Structure 1
Amino acid sequence: MNRALRWTAWIVAVLLVVVVVFLVWANIVMQGTRSAALQVWRDDRVTVRDAGDAVVMTPTGSANGVGVVFIPGAKVDPYAYMATFRQVVASGTTVVITKPTLHLAFFDTRPLATFESHAPEVRTWAVGGHSLGGVRACQLADDPGVSGLLLLGSYCANDLSDTGLDVLSVSGSRDGLSTPAKIDAARHLLPADATMTEIQGSNHADFGAYGAQPGDRTATISRADARDQISTAIERWTEGLRSAGLS
Protein backbone atom coordinates (compact mmCIF):
# COMPACT_ATOMS: atom_id res chain seq x y z
CA MET A 1 0.00 0.00 0.00
CA ASN A 2 2.79 2.42 0.93
CA ARG A 3 4.57 1.63 -2.35
CA ALA A 4 1.39 2.37 -4.33
CA LEU A 5 0.93 5.64 -2.50
CA ARG A 6 4.52 6.63 -3.20
CA TRP A 7 4.07 5.90 -6.92
CA THR A 8 0.81 7.87 -7.00
CA ALA A 9 2.42 10.83 -5.25
CA TRP A 10 5.38 10.69 -7.65
CA ILE A 11 3.12 10.63 -10.71
CA VAL A 12 1.02 13.53 -9.40
CA ALA A 13 4.18 15.53 -8.66
CA VAL A 14 5.54 14.93 -12.17
CA LEU A 15 2.22 15.95 -13.74
CA LEU A 16 2.15 19.14 -11.67
CA VAL A 17 5.68 20.00 -12.77
CA VAL A 18 4.75 19.39 -16.42
CA VAL A 19 1.68 21.62 -16.11
CA VAL A 20 3.63 24.41 -14.41
CA VAL A 21 6.42 24.25 -17.00
CA PHE A 22 3.88 24.35 -19.83
CA LEU A 23 2.04 27.33 -18.34
CA VAL A 24 5.29 29.24 -17.87
CA TRP A 25 6.36 28.40 -21.45
CA ALA A 26 2.98 29.40 -22.92
CA ASN A 27 3.08 32.75 -21.16
CA ILE A 28 6.52 33.72 -22.41
CA VAL A 29 5.41 35.60 -25.52
CA MET A 30 7.28 37.33 -28.32
CA GLN A 31 6.58 40.92 -27.40
CA GLY A 32 5.55 43.50 -29.94
CA THR A 33 8.12 46.15 -30.87
CA ARG A 34 7.27 49.19 -28.76
CA SER A 35 8.21 51.80 -31.36
CA ALA A 36 6.06 50.17 -34.06
CA ALA A 37 3.06 49.98 -31.73
CA LEU A 38 3.46 53.61 -30.66
CA GLN A 39 3.37 54.75 -34.27
CA VAL A 40 -0.06 53.12 -34.62
CA TRP A 41 -1.37 54.59 -31.35
CA ARG A 42 -0.34 58.05 -32.57
CA ASP A 43 -1.83 57.68 -36.05
CA ASP A 44 -4.96 59.85 -36.12
CA ARG A 45 -6.36 57.76 -38.98
CA VAL A 46 -6.67 54.73 -36.70
CA THR A 47 -8.47 54.12 -33.40
CA VAL A 48 -7.13 51.33 -31.18
CA ARG A 49 -9.21 49.87 -28.35
CA ASP A 50 -8.39 47.04 -25.96
CA ALA A 51 -11.64 45.07 -25.62
CA GLY A 52 -10.22 42.61 -23.08
CA ASP A 53 -10.32 39.54 -25.31
CA ALA A 54 -9.11 41.38 -28.42
CA VAL A 55 -7.42 44.48 -29.79
CA VAL A 56 -9.91 46.36 -31.96
CA MET A 57 -8.58 48.63 -34.72
CA THR A 58 -11.08 50.86 -36.52
CA PRO A 59 -10.68 53.65 -39.08
CA THR A 60 -11.40 57.16 -37.84
CA GLY A 61 -12.46 58.15 -41.34
CA SER A 62 -14.85 56.45 -43.73
CA ALA A 63 -15.22 52.71 -43.13
CA ASN A 64 -15.68 50.27 -46.02
CA GLY A 65 -17.93 47.83 -44.13
CA VAL A 66 -15.29 45.06 -44.14
CA GLY A 67 -13.90 43.47 -40.99
CA VAL A 68 -11.21 40.87 -40.31
CA VAL A 69 -10.98 38.73 -37.20
CA PHE A 70 -7.24 38.05 -37.06
CA ILE A 71 -5.59 35.31 -34.96
CA PRO A 72 -1.95 35.81 -33.88
CA GLY A 73 0.80 33.27 -34.36
CA ALA A 74 1.79 31.03 -31.46
CA LYS A 75 3.00 33.01 -28.46
CA VAL A 76 3.10 36.29 -30.36
CA ASP A 77 1.81 39.43 -28.65
CA PRO A 78 -1.44 40.55 -30.38
CA TYR A 79 -0.15 44.12 -30.33
CA ALA A 80 2.69 43.03 -32.61
CA TYR A 81 0.22 42.98 -35.52
CA MET A 82 -0.96 46.56 -35.11
CA ALA A 83 1.80 47.78 -37.42
CA THR A 84 0.90 45.12 -39.98
CA PHE A 85 -2.66 46.42 -40.27
CA ARG A 86 -2.03 50.12 -39.73
CA GLN A 87 -2.42 51.13 -43.38
CA VAL A 88 -5.19 48.57 -43.98
CA VAL A 89 -7.29 50.07 -41.19
CA ALA A 90 -6.49 53.61 -42.26
CA SER A 91 -7.94 52.76 -45.67
CA GLY A 92 -11.27 51.74 -44.11
CA THR A 93 -11.13 48.12 -42.90
CA THR A 94 -11.84 47.13 -39.29
CA VAL A 95 -9.44 44.58 -37.77
CA VAL A 96 -10.10 42.65 -34.56
CA ILE A 97 -6.91 40.96 -33.32
CA THR A 98 -7.78 38.19 -30.90
CA LYS A 99 -6.02 37.32 -27.65
CA PRO A 100 -5.89 33.51 -27.82
CA THR A 101 -6.19 31.39 -24.69
CA LEU A 102 -2.68 30.68 -23.35
CA HIS A 103 -1.36 32.60 -26.39
CA LEU A 104 -1.99 29.51 -28.54
CA ALA A 105 -4.76 29.54 -31.14
CA PHE A 106 -5.75 25.88 -30.74
CA PHE A 107 -6.69 26.40 -27.09
CA ASP A 108 -9.15 29.15 -28.02
CA THR A 109 -12.60 27.63 -28.58
CA ARG A 110 -14.54 30.90 -28.66
CA PRO A 111 -16.70 31.38 -31.79
CA LEU A 112 -16.06 34.17 -34.27
CA ALA A 113 -19.22 35.89 -33.07
CA THR A 114 -17.41 36.69 -29.81
CA PHE A 115 -14.99 38.93 -31.67
CA GLU A 116 -17.36 40.16 -34.38
CA SER A 117 -19.52 41.65 -31.64
CA HIS A 118 -16.83 44.28 -31.06
CA ALA A 119 -17.64 45.85 -34.45
CA PRO A 120 -21.41 45.55 -35.08
CA GLU A 121 -21.20 48.07 -37.93
CA VAL A 122 -19.22 45.65 -40.13
CA ARG A 123 -21.26 44.11 -42.95
CA THR A 124 -18.74 41.69 -44.48
CA TRP A 125 -16.51 39.53 -42.28
CA ALA A 126 -13.34 37.60 -43.00
CA VAL A 127 -11.13 35.52 -40.73
CA GLY A 128 -7.36 35.36 -40.88
CA GLY A 129 -4.21 34.53 -39.05
CA HIS A 130 -0.45 34.33 -39.00
CA SER A 131 1.40 31.02 -38.79
CA LEU A 132 -0.45 28.75 -36.30
CA GLY A 133 -3.15 31.41 -36.11
CA GLY A 134 -3.76 30.94 -39.82
CA VAL A 135 -4.21 27.20 -39.39
CA ARG A 136 -6.86 27.93 -36.77
CA ALA A 137 -8.46 30.55 -39.04
CA CYS A 138 -8.90 27.87 -41.72
CA GLN A 139 -10.88 25.79 -39.22
CA LEU A 140 -13.15 28.75 -38.48
CA ALA A 141 -13.58 29.76 -42.11
CA ASP A 142 -16.60 27.50 -42.64
CA ASP A 143 -18.67 29.79 -40.41
CA PRO A 144 -21.69 30.82 -42.52
CA GLY A 145 -21.02 34.51 -41.86
CA VAL A 146 -17.47 34.42 -43.24
CA SER A 147 -16.80 35.68 -46.77
CA GLY A 148 -13.00 35.63 -46.87
CA LEU A 149 -9.86 34.02 -45.50
CA LEU A 150 -6.51 35.78 -44.99
CA LEU A 151 -3.36 33.73 -44.49
CA LEU A 152 -0.11 35.46 -43.55
CA GLY A 153 2.84 33.09 -43.57
CA SER A 154 0.46 30.20 -43.07
CA TYR A 155 -1.53 27.41 -44.72
CA CYS A 156 -4.57 25.22 -44.09
CA ALA A 157 -4.70 21.70 -42.68
CA ASN A 158 -8.40 21.25 -43.58
CA ASP A 159 -9.92 21.21 -47.07
CA LEU A 160 -11.56 24.48 -48.17
CA SER A 161 -11.19 23.88 -51.90
CA ASP A 162 -14.93 23.58 -52.53
CA THR A 163 -15.91 26.71 -50.62
CA GLY A 164 -16.73 30.06 -52.16
CA LEU A 165 -14.32 31.89 -49.88
CA ASP A 166 -12.33 34.82 -51.20
CA VAL A 167 -8.85 33.72 -50.11
CA LEU A 168 -5.63 35.70 -49.93
CA SER A 169 -2.42 33.90 -49.00
CA VAL A 170 0.62 36.12 -48.48
CA SER A 171 3.90 34.31 -47.95
CA GLY A 172 7.60 35.13 -47.86
CA SER A 173 10.30 33.59 -50.03
CA ARG A 174 12.68 33.63 -47.03
CA ASP A 175 10.19 32.20 -44.51
CA GLY A 176 11.98 29.55 -42.48
CA LEU A 177 8.85 28.24 -40.73
CA SER A 178 5.95 28.37 -43.20
CA THR A 179 8.36 27.69 -46.04
CA PRO A 180 7.45 28.12 -49.73
CA ALA A 181 7.50 24.33 -50.04
CA LYS A 182 4.93 23.95 -47.23
CA ILE A 183 2.73 26.66 -48.74
CA ASP A 184 2.84 24.91 -52.13
CA ALA A 185 2.13 21.49 -50.60
CA ALA A 186 -1.09 22.78 -49.02
CA ARG A 187 -2.22 24.84 -52.03
CA HIS A 188 -4.75 22.20 -53.13
CA LEU A 189 -6.70 22.73 -49.89
CA LEU A 190 -7.65 26.26 -50.99
CA PRO A 191 -10.14 27.29 -53.69
CA ALA A 192 -8.73 27.26 -57.21
CA ASP A 193 -9.15 31.05 -57.50
CA ALA A 194 -7.30 31.83 -54.26
CA THR A 195 -4.82 34.69 -54.61
CA MET A 196 -1.30 33.48 -53.80
CA THR A 197 1.18 36.30 -53.21
CA GLU A 198 4.82 35.55 -52.40
CA ILE A 199 6.94 38.48 -51.26
CA GLN A 200 10.48 38.07 -52.46
CA GLY A 201 13.02 38.49 -49.67
CA SER A 202 10.48 38.49 -46.84
CA ASN A 203 10.62 36.11 -43.87
CA HIS A 204 8.21 34.76 -41.23
CA ALA A 205 8.70 37.56 -38.70
CA ASP A 206 7.97 40.23 -41.31
CA PHE A 207 4.24 39.61 -40.82
CA GLY A 208 4.39 41.14 -37.35
CA ALA A 209 6.55 43.58 -35.41
CA TYR A 210 8.14 41.41 -32.74
CA GLY A 211 11.77 41.05 -33.79
CA ALA A 212 13.55 37.90 -34.92
CA GLN A 213 11.99 34.44 -34.48
CA PRO A 214 13.88 31.20 -33.82
CA GLY A 215 14.01 28.94 -36.88
CA ASP A 216 13.34 31.77 -39.31
CA ARG A 217 15.63 32.74 -42.20
CA THR A 218 17.21 36.16 -42.64
CA ALA A 219 15.14 38.55 -44.73
CA THR A 220 16.83 40.21 -47.69
CA ILE A 221 14.48 43.20 -47.84
CA SER A 222 13.77 45.77 -45.15
CA ARG A 223 10.96 45.29 -42.65
CA ALA A 224 9.37 48.51 -43.94
CA ASP A 225 9.43 47.25 -47.55
CA ALA A 226 7.92 43.91 -46.56
CA ARG A 227 5.19 45.59 -44.49
CA ASP A 228 4.32 47.91 -47.36
CA GLN A 229 3.93 44.99 -49.77
CA ILE A 230 1.87 43.02 -47.25
CA SER A 231 -0.43 46.00 -46.64
CA THR A 232 -0.89 46.61 -50.35
CA ALA A 233 -1.87 42.98 -50.97
CA ILE A 234 -4.38 43.04 -48.10
CA GLU A 235 -5.88 46.35 -49.21
CA ARG A 236 -6.53 44.98 -52.70
CA TRP A 237 -8.14 41.89 -51.20
CA THR A 238 -10.40 43.87 -48.83
CA GLU A 239 -11.50 46.04 -51.74
CA GLY A 240 -12.67 42.86 -53.48
CA LEU A 241 -14.55 41.82 -50.34
CA ARG A 242 -16.19 45.24 -50.17
CA SER A 243 -17.27 45.11 -53.80
CA ALA A 244 -18.66 41.60 -53.39
CA GLY A 245 -20.56 42.69 -50.28
CA LEU A 246 -22.21 45.53 -52.18
CA SER A 247 -23.31 43.35 -55.08
Structure 2
Amino acid sequence: MSASTRPRSRARRVVSIVLLSVAGLLVAGVLGIVIWSQVGVMDAEAGPLASVRDDDRITVSDVGGNVVMSPASDESTVGLVFIPGAKVEAEAYEAKLSGLVAEDGMTVVITRPWLNLAFFDPRPLSTFTDAAPGVDTWLVGGHSLGGVRACQLAPDADGLVLFGSYCANDLSESGLPALSISGSEDGLSTPEKIQAARDMLPADAEFVEVPGAAHASFGDYGRQAGDGTPTIDDADMTADITASVTDLLARL
Protein backbone atom coordinates (compact mmCIF):
# COMPACT_ATOMS: atom_id res chain seq x y z
CA MET A 1 0.00 0.00 0.00
CA SER A 2 1.42 3.35 -1.02
CA ALA A 3 1.79 6.26 1.37
CA SER A 4 -0.82 8.23 -0.59
CA THR A 5 -3.50 5.52 -0.06
CA ARG A 6 -3.09 5.21 3.72
CA PRO A 7 -4.36 8.72 4.60
CA ARG A 8 -7.44 8.16 2.42
CA SER A 9 -8.18 4.84 4.15
CA ARG A 10 -7.85 6.48 7.56
CA ALA A 11 -10.19 9.30 6.44
CA ARG A 12 -12.80 6.77 5.30
CA ARG A 13 -12.60 4.97 8.65
CA VAL A 14 -13.05 8.27 10.51
CA VAL A 15 -16.06 9.18 8.38
CA SER A 16 -17.58 5.73 8.94
CA ILE A 17 -17.11 6.01 12.69
CA VAL A 18 -18.68 9.49 12.74
CA LEU A 19 -21.67 8.34 10.66
CA LEU A 20 -22.22 5.30 12.88
CA SER A 21 -22.04 7.50 15.97
CA VAL A 22 -24.59 9.94 14.55
CA ALA A 23 -26.89 7.08 13.54
CA GLY A 24 -26.59 5.60 17.02
CA LEU A 25 -27.51 8.91 18.63
CA LEU A 26 -30.53 9.28 16.35
CA VAL A 27 -31.74 5.76 17.15
CA ALA A 28 -31.22 6.35 20.87
CA GLY A 29 -33.11 9.65 20.63
CA VAL A 30 -36.07 8.07 18.82
CA LEU A 31 -36.19 5.19 21.29
CA GLY A 32 -36.04 7.67 24.16
CA ILE A 33 -39.04 9.61 22.80
CA VAL A 34 -41.03 6.41 22.25
CA ILE A 35 -40.32 5.16 25.78
CA TRP A 36 -41.05 8.58 27.34
CA SER A 37 -44.35 8.85 25.46
CA GLN A 38 -45.57 5.59 27.02
CA VAL A 39 -44.55 6.40 30.59
CA GLY A 40 -46.91 8.36 32.83
CA VAL A 41 -49.92 8.25 30.52
CA MET A 42 -52.88 9.70 32.44
CA ASP A 43 -55.78 7.24 32.40
CA ALA A 44 -59.48 8.03 32.46
CA GLU A 45 -61.08 7.98 35.89
CA ALA A 46 -63.50 5.08 36.22
CA GLY A 47 -66.49 6.95 37.69
CA PRO A 48 -66.96 9.67 35.04
CA LEU A 49 -66.28 7.15 32.27
CA ALA A 50 -68.93 4.77 33.63
CA SER A 51 -71.47 7.60 33.75
CA VAL A 52 -71.10 8.09 30.00
CA ARG A 53 -71.22 4.39 29.17
CA ASP A 54 -74.41 4.07 31.27
CA ASP A 55 -76.12 7.04 29.58
CA ASP A 56 -78.69 5.65 27.16
CA ARG A 57 -78.70 8.94 25.25
CA ILE A 58 -75.12 8.32 24.09
CA THR A 59 -73.62 5.59 21.91
CA VAL A 60 -69.87 5.08 22.30
CA SER A 61 -67.93 3.08 19.71
CA ASP A 62 -64.41 2.57 18.41
CA VAL A 63 -64.02 3.55 14.76
CA GLY A 64 -60.57 3.35 13.25
CA GLY A 65 -58.98 3.60 16.68
CA ASN A 66 -60.93 6.75 17.56
CA VAL A 67 -63.52 7.07 20.33
CA VAL A 68 -66.78 8.08 18.63
CA MET A 69 -69.63 9.42 20.78
CA SER A 70 -72.91 9.90 18.97
CA PRO A 71 -76.54 10.54 19.98
CA ALA A 72 -78.41 7.25 20.39
CA SER A 73 -81.75 8.56 19.15
CA ASP A 74 -81.02 10.74 16.13
CA GLU A 75 -78.45 11.11 13.41
CA SER A 76 -76.34 14.22 13.89
CA THR A 77 -75.11 16.57 11.20
CA VAL A 78 -72.61 18.52 13.31
CA GLY A 79 -69.46 17.02 14.78
CA LEU A 80 -66.37 17.82 16.80
CA VAL A 81 -62.97 16.26 16.23
CA PHE A 82 -61.27 16.51 19.63
CA ILE A 83 -57.52 16.02 20.12
CA PRO A 84 -56.38 15.03 23.64
CA GLY A 85 -53.63 16.72 25.60
CA ALA A 86 -50.16 15.17 25.84
CA LYS A 87 -50.18 11.69 27.32
CA VAL A 88 -53.86 11.82 28.33
CA GLU A 89 -56.03 8.82 27.47
CA ALA A 90 -58.78 9.60 24.95
CA GLU A 91 -61.50 8.20 27.20
CA ALA A 92 -60.62 10.75 29.89
CA TYR A 93 -62.52 13.39 27.91
CA GLU A 94 -65.75 11.50 27.34
CA ALA A 95 -67.62 12.81 30.39
CA LYS A 96 -66.71 16.47 29.91
CA LEU A 97 -67.80 16.32 26.25
CA SER A 98 -70.88 14.20 26.88
CA GLY A 99 -73.25 17.18 27.09
CA LEU A 100 -72.45 18.06 23.47
CA VAL A 101 -73.79 14.66 22.45
CA ALA A 102 -76.68 14.22 24.87
CA GLU A 103 -77.97 17.80 24.76
CA ASP A 104 -76.76 19.28 21.47
CA GLY A 105 -77.01 16.12 19.35
CA MET A 106 -73.41 16.41 18.16
CA THR A 107 -71.09 13.59 17.19
CA VAL A 108 -67.74 13.77 18.99
CA VAL A 109 -64.67 11.98 17.64
CA ILE A 110 -61.87 11.80 20.21
CA THR A 111 -58.62 10.93 18.50
CA ARG A 112 -55.71 8.83 19.74
CA PRO A 113 -52.59 10.78 18.73
CA TRP A 114 -49.52 8.86 17.68
CA LEU A 115 -47.16 8.28 20.62
CA ASN A 116 -49.82 9.94 22.83
CA LEU A 117 -48.50 13.29 21.60
CA ALA A 118 -50.47 15.36 19.06
CA PHE A 119 -47.24 17.07 17.97
CA PHE A 120 -46.09 13.80 16.36
CA ASP A 121 -49.39 13.03 14.62
CA PRO A 122 -49.34 14.29 10.99
CA ARG A 123 -52.71 12.83 9.97
CA PRO A 124 -55.14 15.23 8.24
CA LEU A 125 -58.57 16.13 9.61
CA SER A 126 -60.26 13.83 7.09
CA THR A 127 -58.70 10.82 8.85
CA PHE A 128 -61.00 11.56 11.79
CA THR A 129 -64.08 12.98 10.07
CA ASP A 130 -64.27 9.77 8.03
CA ALA A 131 -65.25 8.05 11.29
CA ALA A 132 -68.68 9.73 11.01
CA PRO A 133 -69.51 10.07 7.30
CA GLY A 134 -73.05 11.33 7.99
CA VAL A 135 -71.78 14.53 9.59
CA ASP A 136 -71.34 17.45 7.19
CA THR A 137 -70.30 20.30 9.53
CA TRP A 138 -67.16 19.85 11.58
CA LEU A 139 -65.55 21.70 14.44
CA VAL A 140 -61.99 20.80 15.38
CA GLY A 141 -60.67 21.32 18.87
CA GLY A 142 -58.37 20.01 21.50
CA HIS A 143 -57.02 20.31 24.99
CA SER A 144 -53.58 21.69 25.79
CA LEU A 145 -51.10 20.35 23.17
CA GLY A 146 -54.10 18.88 21.36
CA GLY A 147 -55.44 22.40 20.90
CA VAL A 148 -52.17 23.51 19.32
CA ARG A 149 -52.53 20.70 16.80
CA ALA A 150 -56.21 21.58 16.28
CA CYS A 151 -55.16 25.07 15.23
CA GLN A 152 -53.01 23.53 12.49
CA LEU A 153 -55.97 21.48 11.23
CA ALA A 154 -58.48 24.33 11.58
CA PRO A 155 -58.29 25.62 7.96
CA ASP A 156 -59.99 22.37 6.90
CA ALA A 157 -62.80 22.70 9.49
CA ASP A 158 -65.90 24.84 9.88
CA GLY A 159 -64.94 26.12 13.33
CA LEU A 160 -62.32 25.87 16.08
CA VAL A 161 -62.67 25.23 19.81
CA LEU A 162 -59.71 25.50 22.19
CA PHE A 163 -59.97 23.84 25.60
CA GLY A 164 -57.29 25.22 27.91
CA SER A 165 -55.06 25.86 24.93
CA TYR A 166 -53.94 28.43 22.36
CA CYS A 167 -52.63 28.60 18.79
CA ALA A 168 -49.01 28.66 17.68
CA ASN A 169 -49.98 29.36 14.03
CA ASP A 170 -51.70 32.53 12.87
CA LEU A 171 -55.43 32.18 12.11
CA SER A 172 -56.25 35.84 12.57
CA GLU A 173 -57.20 36.34 8.90
CA SER A 174 -58.94 32.99 8.46
CA GLY A 175 -62.49 34.21 9.16
CA LEU A 176 -63.02 30.97 11.05
CA PRO A 177 -65.58 30.92 13.88
CA ALA A 178 -63.44 30.31 16.95
CA LEU A 179 -63.97 29.75 20.66
CA SER A 180 -61.40 29.63 23.45
CA ILE A 181 -62.53 28.04 26.73
CA SER A 182 -59.99 28.49 29.51
CA GLY A 183 -59.81 28.19 33.28
CA SER A 184 -59.11 30.89 35.84
CA GLU A 185 -57.02 28.43 37.90
CA ASP A 186 -55.12 26.86 35.01
CA GLY A 187 -51.46 26.57 35.99
CA LEU A 188 -50.27 25.40 32.55
CA SER A 189 -52.26 27.26 29.90
CA THR A 190 -52.46 30.23 32.23
CA PRO A 191 -54.80 33.19 31.64
CA GLU A 192 -51.69 35.22 30.78
CA LYS A 193 -50.64 32.73 28.06
CA ILE A 194 -54.17 32.65 26.65
CA GLN A 195 -54.17 36.44 26.47
CA ALA A 196 -50.69 36.61 24.91
CA ALA A 197 -51.78 34.33 22.03
CA ARG A 198 -55.12 36.07 21.49
CA ASP A 199 -53.95 37.76 18.29
CA MET A 200 -53.46 34.36 16.65
CA LEU A 201 -57.25 33.99 16.45
CA PRO A 202 -59.76 36.03 14.42
CA ALA A 203 -60.80 39.35 15.97
CA ASP A 204 -64.33 38.07 16.60
CA ALA A 205 -63.20 34.91 18.39
CA GLU A 206 -65.06 34.33 21.64
CA PHE A 207 -63.08 33.92 24.87
CA VAL A 208 -64.73 32.21 27.84
CA GLU A 209 -62.81 31.94 31.11
CA VAL A 210 -64.47 29.44 33.43
CA PRO A 211 -64.16 30.55 37.07
CA GLY A 212 -62.53 27.90 39.24
CA ALA A 213 -61.43 25.67 36.36
CA ALA A 214 -57.88 24.29 36.26
CA HIS A 215 -56.01 22.66 33.37
CA ALA A 216 -57.14 19.15 34.31
CA SER A 217 -60.75 20.31 34.69
CA PHE A 218 -61.22 19.77 30.95
CA GLY A 219 -60.88 16.01 31.40
CA ASP A 220 -61.22 13.35 34.06
CA TYR A 221 -57.72 12.00 34.62
CA GLY A 222 -56.76 13.30 38.07
CA ARG A 223 -54.39 16.05 39.10
CA GLN A 224 -51.62 17.25 36.80
CA ALA A 225 -48.18 18.46 37.81
CA GLY A 226 -47.85 22.24 37.73
CA ASP A 227 -51.60 22.82 37.58
CA GLY A 228 -53.67 25.09 39.80
CA THR A 229 -56.28 23.95 42.28
CA PRO A 230 -59.79 23.70 40.80
CA THR A 231 -62.81 24.94 42.73
CA ILE A 232 -65.46 24.01 40.15
CA ASP A 233 -67.21 20.64 40.28
CA ASP A 234 -67.45 18.25 37.33
CA ALA A 235 -71.14 18.84 36.63
CA ASP A 236 -70.71 22.62 36.40
CA MET A 237 -67.60 22.25 34.23
CA THR A 238 -69.46 19.98 31.82
CA ALA A 239 -72.38 22.41 31.72
CA ASP A 240 -70.08 25.37 30.99
CA ILE A 241 -68.34 23.52 28.16
CA THR A 242 -71.69 22.49 26.66
CA ALA A 243 -73.17 25.99 26.87
CA SER A 244 -70.09 27.64 25.35
CA VAL A 245 -69.93 25.27 22.37
CA THR A 246 -73.71 25.62 21.88
CA ASP A 247 -73.20 29.37 21.48
CA LEU A 248 -70.50 28.76 18.86
CA LEU A 249 -72.78 26.41 16.91
CA ALA A 250 -75.25 29.28 16.55
CA ARG A 251 -72.57 31.20 14.64
CA LEU A 252 -71.95 28.51 12.02
TM-score normalised by length of structure 1:
0.89
Q: Which residue in the other structure is 1:178 paired with?
A: 189
Alpha-carbon contact 1:176-1:204 (below 8 Å) kept? yes
Q: Which residue in the other structure is 1:76 paired with?
A: 88
Q: Which residue in the other structure is 1:194 paired with?
A: 205
* Gaps in structure 2 of 5+ consecutive residues: 1-9
Q: Are 1:66 and 2:66 counterparts?
A: no
1-side partners of 2:25 and 2:195: how far apart?
41
Q: Which residue in the other structure is 1:130 paired with?
A: 143
Alpha-carbon contact 1:30-1:75 (below 8 Å) kept? yes
* Greater displacement, 214-223 / 134-143: 214-223
Residue 19 of structure 1: SS of its match in structure 2? Answer: helix
Q: Which residue in the other structure is 2:57 paired with?
A: 45
| Matching of residues 160-179 of structure 1 within 5 Å | 160-179=171-190
> Cα distance, 1:53 vs. partner?
2.7
CA deviation string 1:120-162 (max 9, x = no partner): 111211111111110111111112xx21001000011111111
Q: Are 1:147 and 2:149 counterparts?
A: no
2-side partners of 1:123 and 1:19: how far apart?
38
Q: Which residue in the other structure is 2:33 paired with?
A: 22
Q: Are 1:213 and 2:224 counterparts?
A: yes
Residue 154 of structure 1: SS of its match in structure 2? Answer: coil
> Cα distance, 1:15 vs. partner?
4.4
Which of 223, 235, 239 pairs up with 2:246?
A: 235
1-side partners of 2:56 and 2:151: how far apart?
33
Q: Which residue in the other structure is 1:121 paired with?
A: 134
**What amino acid does structure 2 have at the position aligned with 1:191?**
P
**What amino acid does structure 1 have at the position aligned with 2:129?**
E
2-side partners of 1:12 and 1:165: how far apart?
43
Change (3 A) 1:110 1:197: same
- Paired residues, number: 239
> Cα RMSD (Å) of the superposition?
2.0
**What amino acid does structure 2 have at the position aligned with 1:83?**
A
Change (3 A) 1:10 1:110: closer
**What amino acid does structure 1 have at the position aligned with 2:219?**
G
1-side partners of 2:171 and 2:83: how far apart?
18
TM-score normalised by length of structure 2:
0.88
* Greater displacement, 22-31 / 39-48: 22-31
2-side partners of 1:7 and 1:128: how far apart?
44
1-side partners of 2:17 and 2:131: how far apart?
51
> Cα distance, 1:12 vs. partner?
5.2
Alpha-carbon contact 1:201-1:220 (below 8 Å) kept? yes
Q: Which residue in the other structure is 1:156 paired with?
A: 167
Alpha-carbon contact 2:66-2:128 (below 8 Å) kept? yes
2-side partners of 1:190 and 1:56: how far apart?
28
**What amino acid does structure 2 have at the position aligned with 1:68?**
L
Which of 76, 98, 109 pairs up with 1:96?
A: 109
% identical aligned pairs: 52
1-side partners of 2:43 and 2:84: how far apart?
12
CA deviation string 1:163-201 (max 9, x = no partner): 221111100000011000000011111111111100011
> Cα distance, 1:17 vs. partner?
3.8
1-side partners of 2:171 and 2:20: how far apart?
47
